[in-house]
Chains A and B, each alone.
Chain A
Amino acid sequence: MTTASGIVYLLDDEPEMVKALTRLLRAKHFEVRGFTSVRAFLATCQPQEVACLVLDVAMPELDGLELQRRLTHRGMLIPIIFLTGHGDIPMSVRAIKAGATDFLAKPVDGTVLVRAVRVALETARTRHQAIVETAAWAARLATLTLREREVMEHVVAGQLNKQIAADLGTGEPNIKLHRHHIMQKLAVESVADLVRVAERLGLNKPAIGNPIGR
């Protein structure tokens, strides 16, 4: 088995526990970084990494849920697997709602943990992928002229060329030309694809509110 892509961060106040989990995950060919203090962890992790965090709920410095809140606040959408000794339901519910990937009771079985880590890393990868794709769309969108952006908004809103031409006070052939450029620049082949891109980049919404025939 090859090293799975992505970093597994371990955070537990007990060095012995960190050591044991590190061994277990390394034996399963994960790249592991263990920490016993929140501060050291925060100083190391990067938002753009493909990574997940295995976190002990009960940390003397900082509550696990509190750390989760802080990470979210910083914009770090790192998937978190909580380890808990208590395993009380209200706490798990809160954690899951706040975006926890999993909630495992100690002592955690190796197979269960590895599965959870895989899922978490997959999630991280997907998220990462999404972020990367969004960034590429955004870059392409930036190449459109102001007029082309205007036309695109109308197209995405589902208006016909004739309507768009009327709205923008120009001729239908012009609109057709703009449409062609837009499709080319954004490398999409159909209007349906264009709508998806717009959705991804959050562009479709303002057009919906436009009164038809303005």
Chain B
Amino acid sequence: MSWVTFIWSLTAGISLTLGAVHFLVWTRRRNEWATLVFSIAAVAAAGYAVLDMVALRIQTLSEYAELWRWALSLGILEGVLIAWFVRLYLRAGRLWLLWLFCGLRALMLVLNFVPGPNFYFREITSLNQTPLLGELIARPHGVLHPWVMLMPLSFVLIIIFAIDAARTAAKRGKGARAWVLGGLMAVGYSLAFASYALYAHGILPSTFSSQIVLLLILLMGYELSLDVLRAGQLSRDLLESQQRMRLAASAADLSLWEWDIIRDRIWVTERGRERAGVDASERIDFARFLQAIHPDDREPTERAVRRSLEGGGEFEAEYRVMDRDGGGHWVIARGQVEHDTKGRPLRLRGVAVDITGRRKAEDDRRRAELEIQQKRNELAHLSRVTTVSELSGSLAHELNQPLGIILSNAQAAQELLLQDPPVVTEVKEILTDIVAADRRAAEIIKRLRSLLKRGEVSLQPLSLNELIEEVLGLVNSDLIGRGVTVIRDLAPDLPPIIGDRIQLQQLTLNLILNAADAMAGNAPGARRLYITTIWRNSIVLASVRDEGTGLPPDVEDLFKPFFTTKPHGLGLGLGICRSIITAHRGRLWAEPHPEGGAVFHFELPIPDTPIQP
């Protein structure tokens, strides 16, 4: 076999192989159009090499002319394919330049088929034999067409196009690889340009265009193979990172999940399936997912999903996943919706964590807190009942007063109506007074009942001044009976606070009664009780001051349970007061007054947001 046959066959073989391989690759990756274009270009290059090889051996003019027409057609097409490959592969290059090039080539293809042997020759006069690698090969001579220069012009165009495309792609971040492809492409065509010129001047025996095309095909093939290799590496990396992710997820007891919304298919890691008792083979859709969660949690979870699809795309829900045996796990799931380019939701992807342990701990803590709260309420209630029963005499008086008014008025009215003639005018006034007194009695009973009630704590906006007045109204006769004079100095513009009315009444009542007790030994006229309220910045401060016996050396003892200075005291009052004020995020403390006696202060925070009345 001759060298020429070997080299040209090899050229064709390599091209064909590369073309076939990449065609296969393309069938797997239908969206990689560059690969398809490359495989066509490679097949075309193989065809070109075969025709070229045959032509070199041809002896007759007519045969040569006909063969070269087809070889040239493939050559012209090859250029177009290579240009499109550059464009598709680099995703760069000026389109108008590309179309200009294609137009030029199309023109050349048309001119290839005008009467005459082919694109180059108007007439071939003779076929000379030129030596190459120890063989004689055909070299035509004849009259050239005037448009022959279109061929080098097209080379210049594609060189400019390739360099421009490489530059743009490099700028877009493809970097050196863009320059390798575009640059080498330009070099290849420069080489073609040069060999063409040398051949035309009779310096080279052949244009070696088959080999130059092979060079370009190899270059392109190399680039594509690199991509395939890189894709392989990427998929290996992906697999590895997925594995790592799963490992991390299972270590953290996380499960990963993804919902393909369009196909309604849910993928979830092993842990998630286990939790819901779903076999690895079972297909999960949204309905199956809902079925796996507790009936009570379905509606809220569905709502959370809908919200995330319609709204910002963030998904978060807490629900119980029920396994086959009916056991439940509390799960918190968080995810993010992915949208397509038109903003339609494509998939929802996220993680789920088992929070059963945390939920249980929270429940236990809440239950314990509730229990403490309940105990505190009970104790507070007990203390209120004790206080009220101690006050019962005074309270009876407080109640007897309006009852007395009602009775006397009613009897007066009876008397007036018995007279002849009955005195009706005054009876009307009497009835008005009776109604007023009755209301007053009802008000007292209401207050008493609320104090005696074993109610739940209910927080509401309160005026501390009003509250103090209510308590003073209740103990009014008790204080008169003990000869205590109350001096009020209540800030008129006191902002409201948030609290439980009954508990704060209890607190105030306790402080007032304590103050009165402390002054029991004083001379009449020296039993003044001062109540003041002020506010500053973010707190309301109330003070109850007495002129009594003062405080024990260690003031804090007062607030300890069972500490008492009274002969019949339980020693619970101030302890309860302290717990009430602490529950209201306030403070309660005592200090001696410089002029004698003690002052008890308590402060409560003013809520940040203004309270709507």
Chain B min CB distance to A71 (Å):
18
Among candidates A24, A86, A111, residue contacting B412 with C-beta atoms closer than 8 Å: A24
Assuming the contacts A16-B433, A16-B437, A27-B412, asked whether A110 and B407 have C-beta atoms less than 8 A apart, the reply is yes
Q: CB within 8 Å of B: which of A108-130? A: 108-111, 113
Say if the beta carbon of A63 comes within 8 Å of chain B. yes
A90-116 interface bits toward B, Cβ cutoff 8 Å, 1 = contact, 0 = none: 000000000000000111111101000
Cα distance A109–B404 when bound, in Å?
A: 8
Is there an interface contact between B393 and A86, defined as CB atoms closer than 8 Å? yes
Say if the beta carbon of B397 comes within 8 Å of chain A. yes
> Considering only CB atoms and an 8 Å cut-off, how many residues of chain B contact the other chain?
31
Say if the beta carbon of A28 comes within 8 Å of chain B. yes
Say if the beta carbon of A85 comes within 8 Å of chain B. yes
Is there an interface contact between B477 and A106, defined as CB atoms closer than 8 Å? no
Is there an interface contact between A106 and B415, defined as CB atoms closer than 8 Å? no
Which residues of chain A come closer than 8 Å to B407, judged between CB atoms? Answer: 107-110
Is there an interface contact between A110 and B404, defined as CB atoms closer than 8 Å? no
Cα distance A86–B399 when bound, in Å?
A: 11
Cα distance A28–B430 when bound, in Å?
A: 16
Which residues of chain B come closer than 8 Å to A106, judged between CB atoms? Answer: 397, 400-401, 403-404
B388-407 interface bits toward A, Cβ cutoff 8 Å, 1 = contact, 0 = none: 00000110111011011111
Say if the beta carbon of B436 comes within 8 Å of chain A. yes
Is there an interface contact between B404 and A86, defined as CB atoms closer than 8 Å? no
Cα distance A105–B409 when bound, in Å?
A: 17
Chain A min CB distance to B4 (Å):
136
Say if the beta carbon of A77 comes within 8 Å of chain B. no
Say if the beta carbon of B426 comes within 8 Å of chain A. yes
Cα distance A63–B481 when bound, in Å?
A: 8
Say if the beta carbon of A50 comes within 8 Å of chain B. no
Say if the beta carbon of B233 comes within 8 Å of chain A. no
Which residues of chain A come closer than 8 Å to B426, judged between CB atoms? Answer: 23
**A-side interface residues toward B, CB under 8 Å?**
14, 16-17, 19-21, 23-24, 26-28, 58-60, 63, 83, 85-86, 88, 105-111, 113
19 A-B pairs besides A17-B408, A20-B404, A83-B404 with CB distance below 8 A are A14-B405, A20-B406, A23-B412, A23-B426, A24-B409, A24-B411, A24-B412, A27-B412, A58-B477, A58-B480, A60-B485, A85-B477, A86-B393, A86-B481, A105-B400, A107-B403, A110-B411, A110-B415, A113-B408
List the 10 closest pairs (A to B, CB-CB), nearest first: A85-B397, A110-B411, A27-B415, A107-B404, A23-B412, A20-B408, A24-B412, A106-B400, A107-B403, A20-B409
10 contacts between A and B (CB under 8 A): A17-B404, A20-B408, A23-B413, A23-B416, A27-B419, A58-B477, A85-B400, A86-B397, A106-B404, A107-B404
